[in-house]
């Protein structure tokens, strides 16, 4: 992954003022809005802390969502019960500070999010994301995400993909 050792933990009272990933909307959200969303129970936020420097190296947010069955590709929906929608978890934001980019931390944060979701007692079929640009879409495609709504850059991946990768039982 990288030369830096990290711990990933829920966001607490850490100083977020110096976080900079190079995306103004992601930086602004993390510095200004995320605490309010956590208090309102709209999202949960997890951060990667560099154990050497105690800097916040990256973050991701999770929240509940659903996927309409009509939005899924036919080869996926035909294997599922005929419900109007299925439960999913949205990674609303995932960002890595500039200093730590290009070292695999984004992939580590994504894997941590998937593992956290799989360990939860709340069932979900998939992870969804809204890719902000072509580079983000390439990153998520590399990790097995498929287009859910290409026009809106919404993508998804079945959690069974991660369950197999982690060697966890997939019911």
Residue 152: band (very low, low, confident or very high) from pLDDT cuts 50, 70, 90: confident
CB 163 within 8 A of CB 169: yes
Phi, psi torsion values for 103, nearest 5 degrees = -120, 10
CB 150 within 8 A of CB 102: no
pLDDT reported for residue 3:
58
CB 56 within 8 A of CB 16: yes
Q: Give the span between the Cα atoms of 83 and 97, in whole angstroms.
A: 40
- The CA-to-CA distance between both ends of the chain, in Å, stands at 30
pLDDT reported for residue 1:
42
Fold (topology level) of 6-165: Aminopeptidase (3.40.630)
Reading the block at residue 133, the tokens are 């640009």
CB 96 within 8 A of CB 105: yes
pLDDT reported for residue 166:
72
pLDDT reported for residue 164:
74
Q: pLDDT, tens digit, for every residue of 24-35? A: 999 999 999 999
């Amino acid at each position: 992954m990288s030369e830096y050792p990290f711990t990933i933990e829920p966001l607490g009272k850490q100083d977020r003022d110096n976080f900079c990933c190079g995306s103004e909307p992601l930086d602004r959200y993390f510095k200004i809005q995320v605490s309010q969303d956590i208090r309102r129970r709209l999202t949960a936020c997890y951060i990667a802390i560099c154990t050497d420097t105690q800097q916040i190296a990256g973050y991701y947010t999770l929240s509940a969502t659903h996927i309409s069955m009509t939005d899924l590709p036919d080869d996926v929906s035909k294997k599922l019960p005929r419900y109007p929608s299925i439960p999913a978890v949205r990674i609303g934001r995932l960002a890595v500070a500039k200093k730590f980019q290009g070292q695999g931390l984004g992939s580590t944060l994504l894997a941590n999010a998937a593992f956290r979701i799989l360990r939860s007692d709340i069932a979900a079929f998939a992870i969804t994301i809204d890719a902000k640009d072509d580079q983000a879409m390439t990153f998520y495609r590399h990790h097995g995400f498929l287009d859910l709504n290409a026009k809106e850059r919404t993508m998804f991946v079945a959690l069974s993909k991660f369950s197999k990768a982690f060697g966890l039982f997939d019911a």
